[in-house]
Amino acid sequence: MATDPIGAAAGPHAGPGIEPPPPSLLVIFGASGDLARRLLLPDLFGLFLDGLLPERFAVLGVSRTAYSDDAFRERISDSARALGEAKFDASRWDAFAAGLHYHSADLENPESYPALRERIRSLCAARGIPGNIIFYAAVAPKHYVSLVRRVGGTKLALPSEDLPGFRRLIVEKPFGRDLASARDLNREILSVFPDGQVYRIDHFLGKETVQNLFVFRFGNGIFEPVWNRNYVDHVQITVAESIGVEGRGDYYDEAGAVRDMIQNHLLQLMALVAMEPPNSLDGDDVRGEKLKLLKSISPVDPERARDVCVRGQYTEGEIGGKKVPAYRAEINVPPDSSTETYAALRLAVDNWRWAGVPFYLRTGKRMARKISEIAIQFHPAPSQLFKDTSCGQLDSNLLVINIQPEEGIFLRFGAKEPGPGVCVRPVDFHFTYREAFGAKSTPAYGRLLLDVMHGDPTLFPREEDVETSWALLDPFLRRWREDPGRDLRFYPAGGWGPPEADALLEGGRDRWRQP
Is there a common fold for 5-172 and 205-504?
Answer: no
pLDDT at 14 over 50: no
Positions annotated as catalytic residues are 265
| Long-range contacts formed by 258-261: CB under 8 A, 24+ apart | 258/311, 258/340, 258/343, 258/473, 258/476, 258/477, 259/174, 259/177, 259/477, 260/174, 261/343, 261/363
pLDDT at 374 over 90: yes
pLDDT at 170 over 70: yes
pLDDT at 349 over 50: yes
User: CATH number of the domain at 5-172, please?
Assistant: 3.40.50.720
User: Domain 205-504 belongs to what architecture?
Assistant: 2-Layer Sandwich (3.30)
pLDDT at 51 over 80: yes
Q: What is the pLDDT of residues 217-262, one digit of tens each?
A: 999 999 999 999 999 999 999 999 999 988 888 889 999 999 999 9
> What's the average model confidence in pLDDT over 184-195?
93
Residue 199 in 3-state DSSP? strand
Q: What is the pLDDT of residues 259-286, one digit of tens each?
A: 999 999 999 999 999 999 999 888 899 9
Rounded CA-CA distance 479/499 in Å is 21
Q: Structural domain boundaries of the chain?
A: 5-172, 205-504
Q: What is the pLDDT of residues 103-122, one digit of tens each?
A: 999 999 999 999 999 999 99
pLDDT at 1 over 50: no
How distant, in Å, are the alpha carbons of 19, 304, 500 from that of 301?
49, 5, 20
